[in-house]
Structure 1
């Protein structure tokens, strides 16, 4: 591990290997004296390394971690292998605990091991097999990229809260009082119970992955969460956008949206959102970093027969819980349906000038943003006399599930069409609001 000079800290010198002596010391040894027993090298435990790693998640520098890792590497033989006595004490936990010491921008809280090979197991034929690389890969695969990013964002929020309200306390392990106050903080900011529960789950994961007792599992914290649920139920008030409402929204674009290009753009986006069960974030950018994660122009493929379009295939590469698994959706053309997404996409692409990048772009080449789509939808809803408080961008997805159920589509098919991983899709079927 390369040494790094840290501000306000002293350099960590390389420790002398156990049993090693200078030349003069060797000569001074009495010829007939018995050699003293060499004390077995002390191998840091997983808890010692984990404590050093996350001793201060608020960003203070500490040389304890460097000392432990230096000691660990110093106890290895010169060829990088672990001696037999050391292998008996060393565990995979020691390697997985080798993390940066800050939650913000670091992987320690989410269980990523270091890139250095600190743990090796000697096989019967004398070769060595690296274990920490495999462990790191398995831990990384335990969370999807979206969940990992969400957990990191939530832990950053928790870190900032603790810096302000518990500056003298360690984040790992946190106390049940710290967790309870953080829940109260989120409640006062009008967070929904389900969102607060997600924050608590992130904190719980941070403790468990670092071999610490989980404070969120206490009776006290559970009762605080129960109080949040009782005082602010998690009822989802969003209503489904049905085919009838979609038809009105598409017709309203000519009266509300300025410019022929933007009208065709929004018509195609709304039709595709409904018939492909899309989330708005799967076709419009929330931030510039999402440019390659929304639907791309190359994700669309049209089928033709005798030079006449017969259908369209949409390739979904990035979606919630995708885990790098691509889904394809085929939509046949329906010339008698004014809401047909195939016709809407053909009309839009006939005047679009771009030939690469995100599917939905303005004439200037800028990708359509999440904010633009939602603000346009709000204007269209107000024009047709519907509340923008009850109908949101996610209402297209809710309406697609509800309409499919009303038409008799089997539940497993609806789940597959909407790319739902769990039975949560049943909450989207709202026949009472149909």
Structure 2
């Protein structure tokens, strides 16, 4: 950025960077055919510098965020996983009865898919058993209220402190995909006993392969090409849904527990 600033003979101090100058810098990188992911990484580094020096972060501005999304859209990463949108999720849950006739499984996967989307969860946080997988969410980690879910995560990928993180997941006006409603329906069958939050009707653990299988079958039944999606698509979709609802990137990074904004930015799909 320093070379760009000096080359263009901008008046005023170089740092902190103004929103306009950062926007021009992004445009310059794009004209030089920098990959969208590379631009996002460079901007993330500048963003971090502003934060540690307690300066206003220009990367959080609406203009810069739109420019980064545009750069990623023009030159997206290869083998991009598609995001499961709120509408895709709704269609998947609608067709679940055609995928499995078991009412328990219908409620199980409605809750698992909805919570994975709204809480930006990794598949390793909803599958397995505590003895095998320390990151799996248990029933003790969840407090279900009338309009929200309090979810406390003690272990997760990229965790840097000994303190747990608590997420407050709000209810949705769209009842069919509402995380509070779907979890309430599932827990009415599962019960409140300790153990993994999501488990089979016989109390055995849910495996990654089963989640992927039911997800793929639901997508196909709803008319989507399942080969374009994987279990990470819920997390990606939830993140992009939050961006669409104008949640700031710092908050989304904390919710999703990404190690950096650069790591998060490569999943922007809008």
Q: Matched residues in 2 for 1:377 and 1:286: separation?
A: 20
**Residues 169-226 of structure 1, C-alpha deviation per residue, up to 9 Å, x if partnerless?**
xxxxxxxxxxxxxxxxxxxxxxxxxxxxxxxxxxxxxxxxxxxxxxxxxxxxxxxxxx
**Residues 235-277 of structure 1, C-alpha deviation per residue, up to 9 Å, x if partnerless?**
2421010100010011111111230000000000000000000
Matched with 1:301 is 143
Task: Kindly report the root-mean-square deviation, in angstroms, between the aligned alpha carbons of the 2 structures.
Answer: 2.0
Deviation at 1:279, TM superposition (A): 0.7
Deviation at 1:384, TM superposition (A): 1.2
Aligned counterpart in structure 1 of residue 207 of structure 2, from 362, 365, 369:
369
Contact 2:120/2:255, CA 8 A, preserved across alignment: yes
Deviation at 1:354, TM superposition (A): 5.6
Give the number of the structure whose residues are more often helix, by fraction.
2
Q: 4+ runs of 1 displaced by more than 6 Å?
A: none
Deviation at 1:387, TM superposition (A): 1.5
Contact 1:297/1:355, CA 8 A, preserved across alignment: yes
Contact 1:284/1:367, CA 8 A, preserved across alignment: yes
Report which structure shows greater RCO (CA 8 Å, sep ≥6). Answer: 2
- Which protein has the larger Cα radius of gyration, Structure 1 or Structure 2? 1
Is 1:285 matched up with 2:121? no
Contact 1:354/1:365, CA 8 A, preserved across alignment: no
Is 1:311 matched up with 2:153? no
Aligned counterpart in structure 1 of residue 257 of structure 2, from 416, 419, 422:
419
**Residues 302-348 of structure 1, C-alpha deviation per residue, up to 9 Å, x if partnerless?**
23xxxxx2321011122111133311111233355321101111100
Q: Which runs of 5+ in 2 are unaligned?
A: 1-75
Is 1:241 matched up with 2:79? no
Matched with 2:157 is 320
Judged with a 3 Å threshold, the aligned counterparts in structure 2 of structure 1 residues 401 and 236 are, in CA distance, closer, same or farther, namely farther
Q: Which runs of 5+ in 1 are unaligned?
A: 1-232, 304-308
**Residues 78-99 of structure 1, C-alpha deviation per residue, up to 9 Å, x if partnerless?**
xxxxxxxxxxxxxxxxxxxxxx
Q: Matched residues in 1 for 2:130 and 2:225: separation?
A: 27
What secondary structure sits across from 1:389 in the alignment? helix
Tell me the TM-score normalised to structure 1 length. Answer: 0.42
